[in-house]
Amino acid sequence: MYGLFYTAIDIAFILQDLKLGCREESKILDLIWENEKSLLSEQYRDNKRKFLLDIYQWSHYILDKDAIDEELVAIQRDLKHSDKTLQLDQLSGYFSDFDIFFKSCRIKILYGSRNYVKIKLRTLLERYGYKRRSSLIVQYIKHCLTFYNLQVAVRGGDICDIETVGIDEMLMFRVIS
């Protein structure tokens, strides 16, 4: 369950995907801070400054990844002389996190002026490296739906079960009010 809470990098990726201006982004960050505090990683729940600074740090990294990656060797060399370390796994692998989709759905719907997020089940699974739905994936998806208070429906608005819906069905995710 720990991985389901919003991290700074999660929010940075979501904000980048929304393609907002500075003011809109700032408003959304304030709304997330005010309304989603219980879903934030524990380190951010009582420290808005750290929350914002970490998001801006990751946003900068995402926007200028190539230039920053080129500097990693020099950064690591400099850090060796100062008893500090850099965890390289922090800088990669975040696109593979399946739960980012559900985090993104919630933020986009609540703060990005969308009523729903739609995607085919097959596309969702393929995006995160899965070819078919297993019982473990279905269980995890259901857990994410519950955690983020999301509901899934097919076209026409009929609520569906992720376990039995056709793999090529267009799914619409909504936040349950």
Query: Contact, 54 vs 8, CB < 8 A?
Result: yes
Q: Which of 8, 12, 34, 38 is nearest to 25 (CA)?
A: 12
Q: Which one has a higher pLDDT value, 6 or 96? A: 6
Condensed to tens digits (0 to 9), the pLDDT of residues 125-150 reads 998 888 888 888 899 899 999 999 99
Q: pTM here?
A: 0.76
**CA atoms 145, 177, 7, 123: torsion sign:** positive
Domain spans of the chain, in order of start: 98-177
Does position 73 have pLDDT exceeding 90, yes or no? Answer: no
User: Whole-angstrom Cα distance, residue 50 to residue 41?
Assistant: 11
Tokens 């985090």 locate to 103
Query: Contact, 94 vs 13, CB < 8 A?
Result: yes
Condensed to tens digits (0 to 9), the pLDDT of residues 144-176 reads 999 999 999 998 889 999 999 999 999 999 999
Query: Contact, 124 vs 130, CB < 8 A?
Result: no
Q: Which fold has domain 98-177?
A: Arc Repressor Mutant, subunit A (1.10.10)
